[in-house]
Amino acid sequence: MFPGNEIQGPGYSVQLPPGFTCLNGMPALGTYWLMPPGVTQFDVQALVQIRPVNPFELQPLLQNLYSFDNLQIAQMNAYNLGLGQVLGIMPGRQMQMPQGLTHIREFDAVTLRGFPVRVMEMVMQGAMASVEVVVMMNLYRWTQFVAPCLDFVGRINLAGTPQAIPQLRAVMDQNRTDQIEYQFVTPGSQPVSVTSLPTNVGGTTIIHIDTLIQTRDINGTEVAIGPHSTAAVQAGQPAAGNPRKENAMDGKDSSITTGNITGGPGAIAIGPDAQATVNINPQMQGDILQLLALLREQVGKSDLPDSAKNVLLNRAVPEMEKGVSSGSAKPALEHGLERINDQLEGAGAAAKNVAGIVETISKIAGVVGIAVKTVAPFLAGLL
C-alpha cells in the first residue's frame, strides 16, 4: 500500500513494522489510522493514529493534554476518539525520547462495544517538526498489541532530529506485580519509561506471575522481570549499567530461565525446552464457567445454522464445561475451540455477525493462555 512500506507526512516518516495495515487516512495531510497485526477493520481491538502538528496548534494541543485532570475535558477527548465513559486518568508527564521532548497522557475508557481500552496520547517535539500519536489497545488483549504498537512509536523519525531506533524492554518489579512497565532503551542512554500496563483487568488475570522470571525476548520485546533484573538489549550484550548480567545473557543460543509461571497470557515459555503450566484456581474456574454460560447465550441468539448451533450447544460447550469443572481445562478448551472454529468456518460466518461470540472466545483463551491462531485459525482471522 505504501512505497517501501513507509508512511510520510510533513516533517516526519515511519518505516512500518511488519504486519501493520492502514485502516484510513489522509496522506496529503500526513494523517493515518493504522492497525497492528491481529486487527481487522471489522473488529478494531487496537489502533495507532499519527498526524503532524503545526507550530501554531502545538501549545493549544499541550494545554488540552494537561487539562485531562478535568474529567469533562478527558471525556470530550474520549468522545472524539469514538469511546464512551472514561474509567481512569493517569498523570501527565514529560520525557526525553529519541525523537525529542515527548508529552504523554494516558487514560482508560470503555468502547461503544463495552470493552475497556488503554489510550496513550503522545505529542513528540523534534527540532523541526512535531507529531501527535494516539495508541489504543483492548486492555484484555494488551499483551498481544503492546509490542507492535510501541515498536511503531519507536520508529517515528522527525525531521532535523537524528536518532537510533530504541529497543523495547518490559520490566516487572517483584514488589509491584499489579503492573508491567515498558521502557525504550537506546545504547548509551538511560531507559525511558513509556507506559505501565495492568496484570489484572476487571478481575480477569491478564498476566499472573508467581516467581521471578528472566527472559531475553518475548514476541520481539526485551523482558526482564524481578526486583533488580535487567534484560540485555541484544543477545550477547548486557544492558547499560548492568555488567553483572553479561554471562546470563551471553550468546544468541543462551538458555533462558522462566520459573513457574501460571495464569492467562502470562503463561510464557521461552527456549527450546521451556514449558509453561496453567493452574486453574477456583476463581479462574468460575470466570471461565461464566464466560461459557455467556457463550451459550450468544450462540443461541445468533443467526448461525441450526446444525452449527446443535454442535456448539450440545457438544463443544458441554465438553469445555466438563473439562473446566474436572480440572483438565486447557485440553478441553483447546478441543472445544477447534470444534467452534470448524463450525463457524463451515457456516461461512462473518466477523460482524459473530462479534460477541468471537470476543467471548478470545477472553476464554486469554484466561488459560491458549494461542487462538494455532488452535482456531479461522476464529483468529475474525478477531
**pLDDT tens for each residue of 134-161:** 999 999 999 889 999 999 999 999 987 7
Mean pLDDT on 190-198: 89
pLDDT in the model for residue 347: 78
**What pLDDT sits at residue 237?**
33
pLDDT higher than 70, residue 210: no
- Categorize the per-residue pLDDT at 41 as very low, low, confident or very high, splitting at 50, 70 and 90: confident
Q: Which residue has the higher pLDDT, 244 or 89?
A: 89
Q: What percent of the chain is predicted at pLDDT more than 90?
A: 24
Q: Which CATH number fits domain 1-164: 3.40.1000.10, 3.40.50.300, 3.40.462.40, 3.40.630.30?
A: 3.40.1000.10
pLDDT number for residue 284 = 72
- Report the pLDDT value the prediction gives residue 374, as an integer from 0 to 100: 67
Output 182 or 351, whichever has higher pLDDT: 182
Give the least confident one: 180-189, 275-284, 288-297, 344-353.
Answer: 275-284
311 φ/ψ sector (left φ>0, alpha ψ -120 to 50, else beta): alpha
Q: What is the pLDDT of residues 71-123, one digit of tens each?
A: 888 888 888 888 888 999 999 999 888 888 999 999 999 987 788 999 999 99
Is residue 15 scored above 50 in pLDDT? yes
For residue 150, what is its C-alpha cell?
A: 510501541
pLDDT class of 360 with cuts at 50, 70, 90: confident
Q: How confident is the model at residue 44 (pLDDT cuts 50, 70, 90)?
A: confident
Burial class (CB in 10 A: 0-12, 13-18, 19+), 216: buried
- Band of the pLDDT at 205, cuts 50, 70, 90? confident
Please give the mean pLDDT across all residues of the chain: 76
